[in-house]
Amino acid sequence: MTSEIIEQKVKEEKMSFSVTGMTCATCAKTVEKALSKIEGVKFAAVNLATSTGFIVAEKKIPLEVVQKTVEEVGYGISIESPQTLEEMRYKEAKKNLLLSWIGTIPLAILMLINMLAFKIPGFEFLELFVGGFVIFYAGKSTIKGAWIALTHKHTNMDTLIFFGAVASWTTTLLSLLGFPIASFGAIGAMIVAFHITGRFIESHLRDKAAKEIKTLLKLQAKEARVLTDKGELTMPIEAIKKGFIVLVKPGERIPVDGEIIEGVSGIDESMITGESIPVQKTIDDEVTGGSLNLTSPLKIKVTKVGEDSFLSQMIKLIQQAQGTKVPIQALADRITMWFVPTIITLAFLSSVVWYLNFERLSPFIESASKIFPWIMTGNDPLSFAVFVFVATIVIACPCALGLATPMALVTGTGLAAKRGLIIRNAEAIQTSKEVKFVLTDKTGTITKGNPRVVEHNLSNEEYGIISGIEKNSDHPLAKAIYSLMESETKPNHVEEIPGQGIKASVGDDEYFIGKPENPELYAKHFELGRTVVEVKKNQTPLGYIVIEDPIRMDSKSAIKELKNMKITPVMITGDNEKTAWAVAKTVGIEEVYSQVKPSDKLDIVRKYQSKGSKVVMVGDGMNDAAALKGADVGIAIGSGTDLAIDSADIIITKGGIYKIVDVISISKLTFKVIKQNLFWAFFYNTVAIPMAMAGLLHPVIAEIAMAVSSITVVLNSLRIGKIKFRRGETALDA
C-alpha cells in the first residue's frame, strides 16, 4: 500500500489559480464542470468565496490550457497576484457603488415626490436616462455576468438582477411609447444600486473572513541581511539561496526557514502556531520564516527558500483547502443550478396569472394593501403583472444559498490555521465531527518525537559506524542515535525496512539496527517506557542502544478530553508491547496494538471502520502513510516525514495530539454554522418567493431583503473566526 501512495504522489499535480468574472454559485459550478473535462484532470473545485480554482491532475497541465478552458465558458484567469487582483476589484466595485447611488438617490427622491406629492413634468424621461445610466453603466458587471451565462446556456444570480432591472427600465420606455403600463424605471435603478451595495459589502466581509491568509502573507519578509565575504548585504528574499548565512537581530522577523549556527534567543512563533509562550532556540535548532526573534542576534543557515518554505507551503495549503468543498455543498450546488430557471418560469407564470385574473384577484390586493402599504394598487392588469414579475425575480436571487457553505468553510479553515492546523482536504471538516475512534502512533505523536540516547554498550568505534548508517534515515530514533556522535562512516547498500529497522554494508561487514530479536532481555527498560534498538553485525548480536522519548505535555489532557467527547483513543505502534503499554498507561489509553508492521496499521484502521464508525489516524512517519491515507481523516504531525504529510488530510504544524480535540471541535462548529446558513437561506426563499408571486412584496423591499439575507449568512460565518480558545478549551466550549 505504501508503494502505491508513493506512486500516487509522483503522478499527482496540483494547481491553484484566481478565477475572474464569477458572481454566484452557478458561475463557480460552470467553471468547475469545464475544468473537470480537461484531459488528465482527476478533481476540480472552484470556490466563489475566495475566487479560486483548484485542480488535481495525473500530469502537469499547462496554464494556457486551463486559461483557454475557463475563457470558453465566459470567465477568466488572472495572472496578477491575489492582492493586486483584490485591490483592482475593490477600486472598480467602489467606483460602481458611488456612480449607482449618485444616480439612484436623486431619482428615488423624485420618484417619491412624483408618487406622493405632485407630478413632475418629464419625470419619465429622467427615469429612462438616469435609470439607464445606473443599470447599463454602473451595473455593467452585472449585465456582463448575465450575458456570459445566457450565451453559454445557463443562468446565474446576475441573470435574475438583469431580468428584474431591465424589465423595470423597459416599463418606462413602453410607457413613453404610449403603452398603458406604470413606469418602474427608478425601481430598476434601485435594484441595481442595492445589488451593487450588497456585492460590495459581501466582498468586504469575505476579505475579513480570509484575513488569516493575508496575515500570513504579511509575515513573509521582503528582504534579508546576508553575511558574505564582503560583509553584510541586504538582499531581496527572492535572491536568497540554500546555504546562505542570514543575520537576524532582536526584534526582527526571521526571513527564512533555517538552522541556527550561532546564538541563543527566545523566538515568538505565535503568529504561525497560535502558542503565545516564546520558545528558547539554540545552535542546531530549526527556525521558521515569519517567527519573531526576541532577545539576541542569531546567525541562521538557510535550509528552505521560495515555495519550499514552511510559510509558503502553509499559505498554499490553506488556499487549496478553501478552494475545495464539503459534501453538503453538493446539495446547495444542485439546487442553485435549477433554481434560477425555475424562478424565471415562476415569475413569468405568476405575472400571466395576475394579468388574466386581475379583476377577480383585485379585492385581495385592496385588503392586503392595508397591511403592506408598499403594495401597488390600481386598475391596470399589465402594470401589476410586471410589478409581480420584477418582485419575484429580485427576491429569489440565491446569493445566500451560494455563500452559505463556502463562507463557513473559509472562516473554519482560517480558525484552524490560527490554532496551528492546516486542513488540506475540506471534506475532513464534515467528517471529523462524526469520529468515534482516534488511532494514534506513539513515537513523535504521543511522545515528543525528539528522543535521546540514555544508554548503550557499544565501543566508540562501533557506535561511530552505527551513527554513520543511521544518518541515512529520517526516523526520529535514527536522529537520536546519530546526534550523540559525529561519524565519517560512508555505508553502502543502505535499506530501510519500515517498522523493523535499517541495514547497510560497511566494508565487508553487514549491519542491522532495529527491533530486538528477544525483547525479554531488555524488560527493565521497556517497563520504564523506553525503546531498545539492537545492533547486529553479520547477523550476530553486537550490542544495544537504549532511547527515551519524553511524552508530550498535552498528550494526557488530550486523551482525557477525547474520552469526554465519547471518542475512543487507540495506540498503534511498532514498538514492543511493554514500552507501548507503559506509555499508554501514563496517558490513559486502554486499547493498544504493539509491534505492528506498516501494513498491519492499515488493517487495524479497516477493522474499526468495519464497525460503521469514522476513524481518525494520527502519525508522523513513513510507516504511517498507508494508514493515514486509508483512514476517514488522516492527521500528520508537521515535524514528520514528507510522505506522511502528503498522505494526510490535516497537518498539525506545531504542538501535539491535543490539536485533534481542536480539529473535532472546529469541525462541529463549522458544520453547525453551515447548517444554520443553509436553513436560513432556504427558509428565506420559501417564505419570500410565494409572497412576491402573490403581489405582496415591492421590488425595492425584495432587493433590500435579498441583500440582508446574504450579509446575514456572511456575518454568521464570521462568528467561527471570533471564537477565543483558552488552554484546554475547545471551540464548542468557548
- Residues designated catalytic: 441
| C-beta of residue 285 within 8 angstroms of C-beta of residue 303 | no
User: Residue 127 is which amino acid?
Assistant: E
Residue 273's Cβ-side half-sphere holds a number of Cα atoms within 13 Å equal to 21
Closest to 588 in 3D by CA, of 561, 550, 613, 619: 561
Q: What is the radius of gyration, based on Cα positions, of the chain? A: 32
Give the CA angle between residues 129, 132, 135 to the nearest 5°: 155
* Distance, CA of 113 to CA of 475 (rounded, Å): 80
* Distance, CA of 27 to CA of 34 (rounded, Å): 11
* Distance, CA of 219 to CA of 244 (rounded, Å): 20
* Distance, CA of 107 to CA of 127 (rounded, Å): 7
| C-beta of residue 274 within 8 angstroms of C-beta of residue 420 | yes
Distances (CA, A) of 124 to 110, 114, 172, 389, 578: 11, 10, 6, 21, 90
Closest to 414 in 3D by CA, of 713, 208, 203: 208
Sheet holding 298-304, edge to edge: 231-236, 223-228, 245-248, 298-304, 257-262, 286-287
Residue 327 neighbours by CB under 8 Å, 6+ apart: 427, 430
Q: Show the cell assigned to 49.
A: 468565496
* Distance, CA of 617 to CA of 660 (rounded, Å): 10
| DSSP letters for 236-289 | EGGG--TT-EEEE-TTSBP-SEEEEEE--EEEE-HHHH---S-EEE-TT-EE-T
Cell 548480536 locates to 541
